[in-house]
A and B are shown apart, each in its own frame.
Chain A
Amino acid sequence: GESVGLHLPTLSVQEGDNSIINCAYSNSASDYFIWYKQESGKGPQFIIDIRSNMDKRQGQRVTVLLNKTVKHLSLQIAATQPGDSAVYFCAENLDQTGANNLFFGTGTRLTVIP
């Protein structure tokens, strides 16, 4: 039968180019956001996080931008490499002091073309 995975948003980029992966979140009260990378058959791997009191945060080759006005989050990967090929999830956390379950988006599959 048809695989649900075929419905994942996809992004293909040339090796060496920059990648931008977007995410819309639903809850305006969410105060903490995380990007995870998941390779096939593995658990999600933490990439970078950002609190709601920030607009931008940079890591090694990655930058996360947060636009609270439109409830939008993006992950920028500089100089994309073949090893960056994976599914990328954004996750939001409603409350740091209480329930701490993460709400994940459906993910974006990034394919890097050598």
Chain B
Amino acid sequence: DTGVSQDPRHKITKRGQNVTFRCDPISEHNRLYWYRQTLGQGPEFLTYFQNEAQLEKSRLLSDRFSAERPKGSFSTLEIQRTEQGDSAMYLCASSLWGRTSTDTQYFGPGTRLTVL
């Protein structure tokens, strides 16, 4: 399978715990995005990387959230001191950005987080 993969697919945690999600993009895609999606809504942008550089962060990304892409390949999203409001599907997408590409974003299956 050469698509975007995410791990874990489901995570149940207690309020106040830290959680970390992983995303593996499509090979050679230089951009990687994180989105959050709540029930009945479209995905909302959180942050994105071009190679290992984090170029933009949404105001939705509170200081409890941190994302990394240390080697420009896989990425991790960590949420510290989780709150019930963090319960959502966390989606990762990747794209190949360049002068001749349209930067189409391809999404992974998501990680569903439930905070009890």
Interface positions of A (Cβ within 8 A of B):
3-8, 32, 34, 36, 41-46, 49, 51, 89, 91, 93, 96, 99-107
Contact of A107 among B42, B97, B104, B108 (CB under 8 A): B42
Q: Does B65 sit at the interface, judged by CB under 8 A? A: no
| CB-based contact B103/A96 at 8 Å | yes
Chain B contributes a number of interface residues (CB within 8 A of A) equal to 29
Contact with A along B93-112 (1 / 0, CB 8 A): 10101000011111111100
Output the least CB separation between B14 and chain A (Å). 22
Count, A-B residue pairs, CB within 8 A: 72
| CB-based contact B39/A46 at 8 Å | no
Q: Complex formed: what's the CA distance from A104 to B24 in Å?
A: 23
Output the least CB separation between B96 and chain A (Å). 12
Output the least CB separation between A70 and chain B (Å). 21
| CB-based contact A106/B43 at 8 Å | no
Given known contacts A34-B104, A49-B102, A89 and B109 CB-to-CB distance under 8 angstroms: no
